[in-house]
Structure 1
Amino acid sequence: MADLNPAPDDRGDGSGRGDRGQLVLITGLALAVVLVALVLVTNTAIFTDNLATRDRGVGDTEALGYRATVIDGVGGIVERENAAEYADRDELTANVTAGVVRFDDAIGRTAAIRATSARVNRSSLSYVDGVLVRHRNESSGFVSAAESADWTVATDVNRTRAFAATVDRSSLARTEAATLDDAFAVVVEGNASSDEWTAYVYENATTGHIAVAVSPVGAAGATEVCSVDASSATVGFTTGTLAGEACAGLDWRGGVDDAYDLRFRNGTSAAGTYDLTVRGGVGAVNDAAIADGTASDDPESPYFVPAVYAVEATIRYETSELEYETDIRVAPGESDA
C-alpha cells in the first residue's frame, strides 16, 4: 500500500503543505467510494423500477382484459333481453340487471381464485332507453305497416345502433350505381342542416351480386362500395359490413352531425328481415307507420318494442399491485351513430 506519510527530509517549515496533500488524497479516495456506492444504488433503483413497470404492464393488460370481458358480457345480456321483446320496460331493465348480477358474480368468483377483486359497482348501473324496430315478415317488402314504400322510421334521432337488414337478392332492384332511382334506400337527413346521407341496396345488373352504394353528404351521385355473390346477405348499416365482412365505404350517416330523421325509400324493392335500435322512448319512432309490438303477441311488420339502448356502470379491478376503476358504456352495434 502506498506510504501516505511525507519523507523525513520533507518535514520542516513546509510540512503544512504535505499534510494538506495527504488530506486531499484521503478525501479523493473517500469520494470515489461514495461515487461507486451511488452508482450501485442508482442501478439497483433503475432495475427495481423496470421490474415494477413490467408488473404494471401485466396488471394493466389484465385490467383492460377484464373491462373488455364486461363490455362483451353485458352487451350479450342486453341483446338477449331486448330480443325477448318485453311489453313492459321495467320488466326488461329488471331482467337485464339480474343478468348483469349473475355475470358479475361468475366473473368475481373466477377472479378470486387468483387473489383478485373484479366487480361491477351494481349501485352505479344505469340504463339509456331505446326502441327496437323489427321486420320479420320475409314475404313482405320493407314497407310501413300501412304498406307505404316511402316512409319515415324515426324522427329527431341522435343515435341508432345494431341496424342490420338481411335481404333476398331476388327481391332487389336489378340496376347499376349510376341509376338507383328504383333501388331500396336508407336515408338519413339532418334536422337542422338538411344534410342527407343515403345507402342503396340492389342487385348489380352486370355481376348479379348483392351490392351496396353510398351517396355521402354533398355528393351528386352514389358510388358502389361493396358487393357479394350470394342469394341473400346481411347489410350491417351501423357496423359498416356486408355479409359479415368490412365494407369500408359504408360509413353510417357520415357527415350528418346533428339529430336526424331516418327514412326508407323504395321499400318494395327489398324483402327479408331487419332490426334497428334507436335511442329514446317510444316517441322516437313513427308509430303511425310502425305497429305497437306490445299490443299484440303477433304484431304485423314492422313493429316496435321497448329496448335498452345502452348500459352505463363503474367497474373496479384490484390486485395486490394494481387498483383500476373506470366507467363503461355498453351499446352493442353502435358506431358513433
Structure 2
Amino acid sequence: MADLRPDIGGADIDRGQIILVGAFALAVVFVALALVMNAAIYTENLATRSESAETSNAHAFHRATETTATESFRYAHDVHSGDHDALNQSVEDAIEAYHNATRRQQAAHAQLTNVSVASTSPGVNITNTDDTFDADDGTDDWEVASGVRQFHTFRLDIEGWPDSDSEELRVVADDTETWYMNVSFDGSEYTVGVNDSGTYSTCDSSIAADFTVDFAAGTVDGDDCASLDLASESGPYDLRFENGSVANGDFTMLVNGTAGSRVTDDQQTQVLYSMDVDLIYWSSDVRYRSTIRVGPGEIDG
C-alpha cells in the first residue's frame, strides 16, 4: 500500500502524495454516488413493481366480481323469474355472500374490499304468440308497454296479411307526431317505413314473404335500416300497437318499463332489467373504486 506520510526529502514527492490523496478522495466520492444511484434505481423499480402488482390485483378483483355479478343475475332469473322482490333478494344475497368471502380472503393480504348491490331496475318481458298484434280482448289500438326507458329486445315477426286492402300496422312511441314504424302490404310486397318527428323514410328491403322487424338490431328482414332508430328516442315513452288485427304474427320485447293494462298475465314476466354493483379495493398502494353494470344486450331508449 502506498505510504502517505510526508517525506521531507523533496517537493516532487509532496506533489505526488497530494495527487494520490486526491485520487483516493475522488474514488470514494464515485463509489458513494454509485451506491446512491443504485439504491434509488432499486427503490424505484421495487415501487413500480409493487404498484403494478397491486393494480393488476385490483383489475383481477374487478373481473372476478363482474363474473360473479353476471352469474348471480342469471341464476336469480333461472330460479325466481316473475317476482321482482324475489329477484332483488336473490341477487343481494349472492353479492353479500361473495363480499363476505372475498373480504376475509383479501384482508389476509392487507387489502380492504367492499362489494354491494347499489341498485336494480325492474323490467318486464312481454311475449305474444297468438298470431296477431291486437290485444287479447280484441282491441286494435292498445298500449303494450308504458314508461319505457330502454329495451334489451324488441322484435315483430310478420307472418301474413289477410287483406291487402286493409290499413297499415303501426308501432307508436307516445304519439304519431313523435315516432312510429308502419308496415303495409300491397298484395305482392311489404313496405316498412319510419316517421320520426314528421320526417318519413322507408327501409330499402323488398319483402315478399314472412319477415322480422328487429328494433334492437335496427334491421328489417335481416337488412340494416338506418331509420329504424327507436333506440335513439329519449325515454320514458309508451309503446302502442295500432291496427293490430291487420297482420298475422308474433312479437316479443324485454323493456325497462311496465306492461300495458291489456297485456295478460300469461303474456308477461317480471324481470330485473339491470343491476349496478359497487366495488371498492384498497391496499397500501392502490385506491380503486368502480361500478359494474349487469344488463346484457342493453339498448338505450
Interval of TM-score (by shorter of Structure 1 and Structure 2) = 0.5 to 0.7
Quote the offset at 1:110 in angstroms: 9.4
Quote the offset at 1:59 in angstroms: 1.7
TM-score scaled to structure 2, two decimals?
A: 0.66
Partner in structure 2 of residue 188 of structure 1: 173
User: Are 1:172 and 1:202, in contact at CA under 8 Å, matched by a contact in 2?
Assistant: no
Superimposed CA distance per residue, residues 21-66 of structure 1 (whole angstroms, 9 cap, x where no aligned partner): 6775444323211221122113313432343244235323322312
Aligned CA distance change for structure 1 residues 159 and 259 (closer, same or farther; 3 Å): closer
1:101 has 2:78 as partner? no
1:138 has 2:151 as partner? no
Quote the offset at 1:69 in angstroms: 1.0
Between the aligned partners of 1:195 and 1:152, the Cα distance in structure 2 is 17
- The percentage of counterpart residues that share the same residue type is 18
Aligned CA distance change for structure 1 residues 26 and 118 (closer, same or farther; 3 Å): closer
Q: Kindly provide the amino acid, as one letter, of the partner of residue 9 in structure 1.
A: G
Quote the offset at 1:75 in angstroms: 3.1
TM-score scaled to structure 1, two decimals?
A: 0.60
Aligned CA distance change for structure 1 residues 18 and 242 (closer, same or farther; 3 Å): farther
Superimposed CA distance per residue, residues 188-226 of structure 1 (whole angstroms, 9 cap, x where no aligned partner): 358xxx9734456789x99x8x997655567441344x8
Quote the offset at 1:159 in angstroms: 1.2
Give RMSD over aligned pairs: 5.2
Between the aligned partners of 2:18 and 2:159, the Cα distance in structure 1 is 102
Q: In the alignment, which of 152, 165, 186 is matched to residue 162 of structure 1?
A: 152
Partner in structure 2 of residue 48 of structure 1: 46
User: Are 1:149 and 1:264, in contact at CA under 8 Å, matched by a contact in 2?
Assistant: yes
Between the aligned partners of 1:234 and 1:172, the Cα distance in structure 2 is 19
Alignment of 1:237-256 (within 5 A): 237-238=215-216, 249=226, 251-254=229-232, 256=233
Quote the offset at 1:261 in angstroms: 3.2
Partner in structure 1 of residue 82 of structure 2: 85
Residue ranges of structure 2 left out of the alignment (5+ in a row): none
Between the aligned partners of 1:172 and 1:55, the Cα distance in structure 2 is 67
User: Are 1:188 and 1:253, in contact at CA under 8 Å, matched by a contact in 2?
Assistant: no
Report the number of matched residues: 295
Aligned CA distance change for structure 1 residues 319 and 53 (closer, same or farther; 3 Å): closer
1:291 has 2:273 as partner? no
Partner in structure 1 of residue 121 of structure 2: 128
Aligned CA distance change for structure 1 residues 118 and 74 (closer, same or farther; 3 Å): farther
User: Are 2:173 and 2:240, in contact at CA under 8 Å, matched by a contact in 1?
Assistant: yes
Quote the offset at 1:277 in angstroms: 2.5
Aligned CA distance change for structure 1 residues 104 and 231 (closer, same or farther; 3 Å): farther
Partner in structure 1 of residue 11 of structure 2: 10
1:69 has 2:67 as partner? yes
Partner in structure 2 of residue 278 of structure 1: 256
